[in-house]
Structure formats: C-alpha cells, structure tokens
Amino acid sequence: MIGVGIIGCGKIAQVRHVPEYMENSEVCLKGFFDKNYERSTQLAERYGGRAYKTYEELLADSEIEAVSICVANSAHAEITIAALKAGKHVLCEKPMATNLQDCEAMVEVAKENGKYLMIDQNQRLAKAHVMAKQMLENGIIGKVVTFRTTFGHGGPETWSVDPGKNTWFFDRKNAVMGAMADLGIHKTDLIQYLLSQTVMETTAKLLTLDKRGSDGKLIGVDDNAFCIYKMSDGCVGTMTASWTYYGAEDNSTILYGTKGIMKIYDDPKHSIIVISEDGTRSEYDVEAIQTNDNQTNSGIINLFVSSILEQREPEISGESVLTAMRAVFASIESSEKGCSIQL
C-alpha cells in the first residue's frame, strides 16, 4: 500500500487525482495541503488522511511515499524539487515548469535522489492515440509528410476551483504562460509520441486575442498559439492551441502520409479514420477522448502507482517530457523574436 499526499487541492486534484487514487486498491491517501487550509481540511474529512498547513509538513510525513503536485504553474518546480529531496516520488501536473532550467533541474534532482518524476501528459494514454501509434509504426499510411494537431476549447474559466474571469490561469504571476502551456504542451508532447520524433525547429505566434479579466482588460497570458513544427525526420506540420473555441472542443490530430491519411478524434462517431490513397475508408472505434465536461479515468494515476510498485521508470517520465518543453519554450522565443528557432 502506497501512502500518497496531494499538494494543491483545486479542481484538477478534486476531479482527477483524488478520485483516481481512490479507485486504486494499492493507494492510501494520507495527506492534503492547499494554500486554502479549509479546502484541504474538507478533502481530508471526505477521503481520510490529514490536512497540513504547509507543504513542508506534508513532505516530512514518513508515511507519505509519493505526492501529486496540483498547484499553479509557477510553483511546480519549487515543490517538485523539495518533494524529491524529501524522498518522495512525484507526479506533477503539466506544464512541467515555467522555464527550461527548472525542468532540467527537476529531472536531475529525481536522478540524484533515486526517485521517480512523472508528468501528467495524459494524451499519450488515450486509447486511440495508443492504437494510432501502433498503426503508424506498422506503416498504415506510409511515411508521414505533414500533420496538423489541435487542442481548443472555450477557455479555463470553469476549469478552476474558483471559476470565472479571476481564475489563476489568467494571472501571469501564477500561470506565467497561457494556452500554449495549458493545451499546447499536450499536443506538442503527443505529436512527438505518435511520430517517435522530436521538434527540431519551430516558427510560432502566441497572441492574446479575446480573453479578458474581470477588469475588462486583455489577460496577461496568451489565449491562442499557432506553431509550425519541423520534426527530426523531416515532416512538417502545425500545432494550434486555443482558449477561444466557443463551441465544441477540438482535440484532433490529422496525419498526411505517403500512403494515406489518418484522422484521430476528428470525427465524433469514430476515434480513428484512415483513408488510403485509393480512397478506401476504414473506421476504428476505441473510446471517446476526455473533455472538460466529460472526465473519465485518465490512466495516469494507475501508471504512476504501478511504476512505484514495480520499481521502474514511468513511461511519461520528466526526462521524456523535456523535448516537448524545449519546443514550448522555443515557440515562445520564436513569437517574441519574430523568427524561427532551432532546437
């Protein structure tokens, strides 16, 4: 039985981490910390365990072997490094950190302390993505030449324990980055996973087009990101992240190969559609992808727990996410400088 602590008791903890830990018979929730002590107390009363007034107190508890870090972006690195040094395995929410130096430091501290660091890049575990990767490796559409991958919805205003225009997602001090880090990191990590390639060059534009805070002024972080990625094997494609899709959520990826086209989560009825070069259409029904309004078990918690029990590096390790984070930071630099950036 693994003793687990939750650091940050907001919505992502409440709707994903805590319920998924509770479903896992190998876990016992031992502790909760949140800057809002009442919030952590409520979770402790509901699920058992203890509420702590500081995260340092939680990390000092010898019965806690692993922690989920579900705080604002700006605190990811600080608390992750502290947890690793305290001898805890860490599952950290995305984005991994707010600068590359911190991301790399997190990976090094995990190695130095012999602990696992996993990042919640859950799109790798979506069943259609797992199936699509295998099909691509088997050459179903030949060599991928171009692609487009998109993640857009109406914004994070409801995806916060304190919903509305004052959400921490819009606060540059806490979030540091906007749609690019919230949604763009998912699709950047995903395209690398699907293609077994890394981003080698990015030409990007990050903009704040529509989102406004409670003061009526445009928010201090990007609400849209548009990137052209050149991959390590030569294919080129686009990655779009948006908080201004005021309608159905779009979480699709389309790959254009030398022998056909693959569409993933592009059709509401079929998870994967493959159109061969002769026009033959094949449909594959796996499971629907999660949306903000339809949360299902992501598989992240089970993967994290099993890696600890089996004493093996988790597939979605901090180190494996570094290349995607480099692409994110390079895209921000590209937008600021108005030029392409080589990684």
The pLDDT tens digits of the residues spanning 79-127 come to: 999 999 999 999 999 999 999 999 999 999 999 999 999 999 999 999 9
pLDDT of residue 288: 67
Question: Domain 125-292+323-342 is of which CATH architecture?
Answer: 2-Layer Sandwich (3.30)
pLDDT band at 290 (very low <50, low <70, confident <90, very high): low
| Whether pLDDT at 220 is above 90 | yes
pLDDT of residue 151: 98
pLDDT of residue 176: 95
- The number of C-alpha atoms within 13 Å of 63 and in the hemisphere containing its C-beta is 9
Sort residue 307 into left (φ over 0), alpha (ψ -120 to 50) or beta.
Answer: alpha
pLDDT digit string (tens) for 172-199? 999 999 999 999 999 999 999 999 999 9
Outline which parts of the chain fall under CATH 3.30.360.10. Answer: 125-292+323-342
Q: Rounded to an integer, what distance in angstroms lies between the CA atom of residue 257 and that of residue 227? A: 20
| Whether pLDDT at 296 is above 80 | no
| Whether pLDDT at 163 is above 90 | no
pLDDT of residue 162: 75
pLDDT band at 287 (very low <50, low <70, confident <90, very high): confident
| Whether pLDDT at 294 is above 60 | no
- Could you tell me what percent of the chain has a pLDDT over 70? 97
Query: Mean pLDDT score of the chain, rounded to an integer?
Result: 95
Q: What is the largest CA-CA distance in the chain?
A: 64
Q: Rounded to an integer, what distance in angstroms lies between the CA atom of residue 201 and that of residue 340? A: 7
Determine the average pLDDT of the residues in 250-279. Answer: 97
Best CATH choice for the domain 2-122+299-317 from the list 3.40.50.720, 3.30.413.10, 1.20.120.10, 3.20.20.140: 3.40.50.720
| Whether pLDDT at 291 is above 60 | no
Q: Rounded to an integer, what distance in angstroms lies between the CA atom of residue 327 and that of residue 335? A: 12
Outline which parts of the chain fall under CATH 3.40.50.720. Answer: 2-122+299-317
pTM of the model as a whole: 0.94
